[in-house]
Amino acid sequence: MSAREEVLARLRAALAGAPPVVPAPGPVPRRQGDRPPGRPELVELLRQRLVDYRAEVHRAAGADVAGTVAAILAAAGARTLVVPAGLPADWRPGTVEVVVDEDLPAARLAGLDAVLTAAAVAVAETGTIVLDAGADQGRRALSLLPDLHVCVVRPAQVVGIVPEALDRLTPGRPLTWISGPSATSDIELSRVEGVHGPRRLHVVLTDG
Amino acid sequence: MRTFLGMPTTAPAGVGHLRGDEPFPAAARKALGDAQLRRNLRHATTTIRAKSGAVIDEVPDWAELRAAGRAIKADTMARLPELLEQLEAAVTAAGGVVHWAADAVEANRIVTELVRATGADRVMKVKSMATQEIGLNEALEAAGIEPVETDLAELIVQLGNDKPSHILVPAIHRNRAEIREIFRREMPGVDPDLTDEPAALAAAARRHLRQTFLSTKVAVSGANFAVAETGTLAVVESEGNGRMCLTLPETLITVMGIEKVIPTWADLGVFLQLLPRASTGERMNPYTSMWTGVTPGDGPRQVHLVLLDNGRSAVLADPVGRQALHCIRCSACLNVCPVYERTGGHAYGSVYPGPIGAVLSPQLTGVADNASLPYASSLCGACFDACPVLIDIPSILVHLRGQAPHPRAEAAAMAAAAYTMDHPRLYAAAQRAAGLGRVAGRALPPPLNGWTASRDLPAAPPQTFRQWWAERGSGS
Ligand code: SF4
């Protein structure tokens, strides 16, 4: 018997010999979320929850994403910025050296100060942004190696709860759910921000 | 032990970390003498209980989520073979390679061969209970391959030549001053003036591992969830070491207990709401990565999934004990357990400590090999109360006590160990549990004087596992 057949045979024997004491309960009603995406109160909740987990949040009028990003980078002392190829051209600040990711080696990415991406979805209740490696977000390594991640979220992308985010995402894509900067609870179970992932997360909320 | 082909089988001895060197009461007595350990544990578990309680209170449908979590897991176990086949098909269709391992020995061999095939002599690891369970690091080392733990707590344990003592925070038994000492002693090139500020310690780990992340070609991970319908694997983490390992290497090998499969994509929504709040007390953990096979141009080009039995089929075969397989490894039951808070995780002998370990380890190995663990509890019910997927741990404990080879001896040993515990706090725990009335009809209602031998005598189960086993063996 192959290991595969062996394991499956064991499991079938286990179930055949011992049916459940109580039958598996049927489906349990689940909260699906009832607030239309992008409502101002959802965006405000997202802002609060992001701040709670030490992300910094900025509001930018649609036309002024580049200016807001420039200010963030200047304040952080960042001089180099990597962007995915599909990032809207008018988001790129003119104030720093901008590198477009074309399969850059990891060491090169790690040497850049900051990364600017869009997002796929954001979850207000948990303060989470989800990247799905779309053209305006780039491959996963991009938003991982630079120490400062600036992420632009549009109101229409903000949903209330996790199940709504899953509904909008495509399972086959590589997904990264981000809630605040990298952190650890490994020392005395208290949360400390800043381990291996970006130590600073700035979220720019646009108005349209 | 004789193995019958195709029959539910416990985890083999002599490999991995499911069996302790000494019974729980003896190990616990030693731990109880360590005041520093108890202070560290009390501080950590008190912190996490408060955080977790606060974020759970925010969720209006927490009770429904727990019920949904239990229902999904019960349904999963009832259909485990078909779901695993579905998962295998989906992962394969997405460019991944699926391997099956009947036990720890097979899993270690598969992973070692996969690493060898890449030519690498070093792998980086994301914290994974399954790979600790099977002793993968030792197997890799024996084959001349260096495993590097990248999770901060695992790194503390590895550098300190220590053993993990908690599911979520393996170094929970260490405080910041002890961690600083380990780093100063064991971390090459570390700043001798390193302080014991958690942020400074985290920064030291970041510097220490950066080059490893950028240059290591193979990573080994576990998985928190695997979605049968889509072939998607998920790792839930905090530090970003998981993202590094899942994204940067050329080859990714994931070792996963077969019970981690869930049926549908939508089911993730239930567990992603339950796990972080019950686990680290966060609304959401900093990072969750999901991948489905291979994505050209993004992440590892070779993706492997090793599906591990190692005793799980034997757990599945026990209709009462089976629900231990529902565990999502949040560690909430450890953090509320009055016994764990006093003894720490090492006393349990297995990589699975605390209440869940007391029901899971004996079932994985066979009760005879971990006979004292079902007694490592006061049956106060706090674990059941805390469990986000409603696993009735006290009932499983009582059920397993009925299978211990010499229950009276085990019970007496535990009663003696319990005597040294500090009574005022147990009193509070027992009082709290008295309101639950959960063990009524199974054992005496929790008395208010801590553990007693009489409470450890279980009601006779209608049929013991061994009787049942013998009967079904002769019938098939
Ligand atoms: S048994 Fe429940 S509370 Fe304990 S670790 Fe597992 S899921 Fe969490």
Q: At what angle do helices B80-93 and B62-78 cross, to 10 degrees?
A: 90
Digit-coded pLDDT (tens) for A28-62: 777 888 889 999 999 999 999 999 999 999 999 87
Residues of B with Cβ-Cβ distance to A120 under 8 angstroms: none
Return the ∠ at Cα B332 (arms to B261 and B158), rounded to 5°: 80
> Do the beta carbons of residue A156 and residue A40 sit within 8 Å?
no
Integer angstrom CA distances of residue B351 from B97, B170, B285 = 28, 9, 23
Which of B64, B247, B265 minimises the CB distance to A166?
B265
State the pairing for strand pair A114-118/A148-153: parallel
Distance CA(B356)–CA(B360), nearest Å, equals: 6
> pLDDT band for position B279 (50/70/90)?
very high
Residue A126 belongs to a domain with what CATH number? 3.40.50.10420
> pLDDT band for position B417 (50/70/90)?
low
Our CA-based measurement puts residue B40 at a distance from the nearest CA of chain A, in whole angstroms, of 7
> What is the overall mean pLDDT for chain B?
86
Report whether pLDDT(A112) > 70: yes
Q: Which residue of B has its CA nearest to A13?
A: B7
Which candidate in A21, A30, A186 is best for mutational testing of the B interface (most B CBs within 10 A)? A186
Does residue A8 fall inside a structural domain? no
- DSSP, residue by residue, A119-142: -SEEETTTTEEEE---TTT--GGG
Does residue A183 fall inside a structural domain? yes
Run of H or E including B69? helix B62-78
Per the listing, tokens 């390594």 go with: A141
The answer to whether the Cβ–Cβ distance between A144 and B210 falls below 8 Å is: no
Domains, in order of start, for chain B: 24-313 (3.40.50.10420), 409-475 (no CATH)
Q: Percent of chain B scored above 90 by pLDDT?
A: 64
Ligand 1 centre and the CA of B69: distance in Å?
12
What is the average pLDDT across B47-52?
Answer: 92
B453 vs B409: which has the higher pLDDT:
B409
- DSSP, residue by residue, A125-185: TTTEEEE---TTT--GGGGTSSSEEEEEE-GGGEESSHHHHHHHS-TTS-EEEE-SS-EE-
What is the average pLDDT across B55-74?
Answer: 94
What 3-state DSSP class applies to A35?
coil
What is the average pLDDT across B88-98?
Answer: 98
Chain A, chain B: beta-carbon pairs less than 8 Å apart: 287
Residues of B with Cβ-Cβ distance to A173 under 8 angstroms: 292, 295
What is the average pLDDT across B213-241?
Answer: 96
What 3-state DSSP class applies to B342?
helix
What is the average pLDDT across B336-363?
Answer: 93
What is the average pLDDT across A119-129?
Answer: 97
Report whether pLDDT(B391) > 90: yes
What is the DSSP secondary structure assignment for residue B196, as one 8-state letter? Answer: S
Nearest to B282 by CA among A107, A117, A183: A183
The answer to whether the Cβ–Cβ distance between B287 and A172 falls below 8 Å is: no
B434 vs B392: which has the higher pLDDT:
B392
Distance CA(B237)–CA(B260), nearest Å, equals: 16
The answer to whether the Cβ–Cβ distance between B319 and A19 falls below 8 Å is: yes
Instruction: Indicate the pTM of the whole model.
Output: 0.89
Q: What is the pLDDT of residue B473?
A: 36
Domain membership of residue A154 as a residue range:
35-206
Distance CA(A160)–CA(A34), nearest Å, equals: 8
Distance CA(A118)–CA(A135), nearest Å, equals: 9
Q: What is the pLDDT of residue A52?
A: 93
Ligand 1 centre and the CA of B387: distance in Å?
5
> What is the overall mean pLDDT for chain A?
92
**Is the shortest distance between the CB of B168 and ligand 1 below 6 Å?**
no
Minimum mean pLDDT among B101-105, B117-121, B282-286, B419-423: which range? Answer: B419-423
Minimum mean pLDDT among A16-20, A158-162, B136-140, B156-160: which range? Answer: A16-20
Number of helices followed by number of strands (H, E) in chain B: 21, 10
What is the average pLDDT across B380-386?
Answer: 95
Which of A13, A52, A174 minimises the CB distance to B6?
A13
Digit-coded pLDDT (tens) for A149-174: 999 999 999 999 999 999 999 999 99
Report whether pLDDT(B432) > 70: no
Residues of A with Cβ-Cβ distance to B5 under 8 angstroms: 1, 6, 9
Which of A53, A144, A193 minimises the CB distance to B244?
A144
Query: How buried is B181 (Cβ within 10 angstroms: 0-12 exposed, 13-18 middle, 19+ buried)?
Result: middle
Does residue A12 fall inside a structural domain? no
What is the average pLDDT across B347-371?
Answer: 93
Q: Which residue of A has its CA nearest to B83?
A: A8
**Is the shortest distance between the CB of B126 and ligand 1 below 6 Å?**
no
B395 vs B445: which has the higher pLDDT:
B395
Which of A140, A141, A184 minimises the CB distance to B238?
A184
Report whether pLDDT(B408) > 80: no
Cα–chain-centroid distance for residue A178?
A: 4
| The total number of structural domains that make up chain A | 1
Q: By alpha-carbon position, which residue is closest to atom 8 of ligand 1?
A: B330
> pLDDT band for position B229 (50/70/90)?
very high
Report whether pLDDT(B458) > 50: no
Q: Choose one of B315, B325, B328, B363 to mutate for the ligand 1 pocket test, by most ligand atoms within 8 angstroms of C-beta.
A: B328
Q: By alpha-carbon position, which residue is closest to atom 4 of ligand 1?
A: B333
Minimum mean pLDDT among A167-181, B157-171, B245-259: which range? Answer: B157-171
Ligand 1 centre and the CA of B342: distance in Å?
19
> Do the beta carbons of residue B102 and residue B109 sit within 8 Å?
no
Distance CA(B252)–CA(B294), nearest Å, equals: 10
Rg of the Cα atoms in chain B = 22
> pLDDT band for position B434 (50/70/90)?
very low
Q: Choose one of B391, B395, B396 to mutate for the ligand 1 pocket test, by most ligand atoms within 8 angstroms of C-beta.
A: B391
Name beta bridge partners: B226. Answer: B233, B261
What is the average pLDDT across B10-18?
Answer: 93
Per the listing, tokens 């003036």 go with: B193
Q: Percent of chain B scored above 70 by pLDDT?
A: 87
Minimum mean pLDDT among B30-39, B86-95, B383-392: which range? Answer: B30-39
Our CA-based measurement puts residue A113 at a distance from the nearest CA of chain B, in whole angstroms, of 15
**Is the shortest distance between the CB of B323 and ligand 1 below 6 Å?**
no
Does residue A176 fall inside a structural domain? yes
Report whether pLDDT(B457) > 50: no
Report whether pLDDT(B1) > 60: no
**Is the shortest distance between the CB of B332 and ligand 1 below 6 Å?**
yes
Does residue A173 fall inside a structural domain? yes
> pLDDT band for position B456 (50/70/90)?
very low
Atom of ligand 1 nearest to the CA of B278: 8
Does residue A41 fall inside a structural domain? yes
Distance CA(B428)–CA(B422), nearest Å, equals: 11
Our CA-based measurement puts residue B28 at a distance from the nearest CA of chain A, in whole angstroms, of 21
Encoded amino acid at B243, one letter:
R
Encoded amino acid at B266, one letter:
A
The answer to whether the Cβ–Cβ distance between A127 and B238 falls below 8 Å is: no
Name beta bridge partners: A99. Answer: A82
Please provide residue B207's backbone torsions phi and psi, each rounded to the nearest 5 degrees.
-60, -45
> pLDDT band for position A23 (50/70/90)?
low
Rounded to 10 degrees, the C-alpha dihedral B138/B275/B341/A192 comes to 80
Q: What is the pLDDT of residue B164?
A: 83
Contacts of A150 (CB under 8 A, 6+ apart): A69, A72, A73, A114, A115, A116, A117, A202, A203, A204
Structure tokens at B187: 């971390």
Other residues' Cβ atoms within 10 Å of the Cβ of residue A103: 7
Residues of A with Cβ-Cβ distance to B195 under 8 angstroms: none
**Is the shortest distance between the CB of B136 and ligand 1 below 6 Å?**
no
Q: What is the pLDDT of residue A72?
A: 98
> pLDDT band for position B37 (50/70/90)?
confident
Residues of A with Cβ-Cβ distance to B77 under 8 angstroms: 20, 24
Q: What is the pLDDT of residue A21?
A: 60
Q: Percent of chain A scored above 70 by pLDDT?
A: 96
> Do the beta carbons of residue B227 and residue B264 sit within 8 Å?
yes
Q: What is the pLDDT of residue B419?
A: 57
Ligand 1 centre and the CA of B466: distance in Å?
27
Does residue A7 fall inside a structural domain? no
Q: What is the pLDDT of residue B453?
A: 33
Atom of ligand 1 nearest to the CA of B328: 7
* CB environment B295-333: b (16+ within 10 A), e (fewer): beebbbebbbbbbbbbbbbbbbbbbbbbbbbbbbbbbbb
Q: What is the pLDDT of residue A22?
A: 56
Contacts of B356 (CB under 8 A, 6+ apart): B167, B324, B327, B329, B333, B334, B383, B391, B393
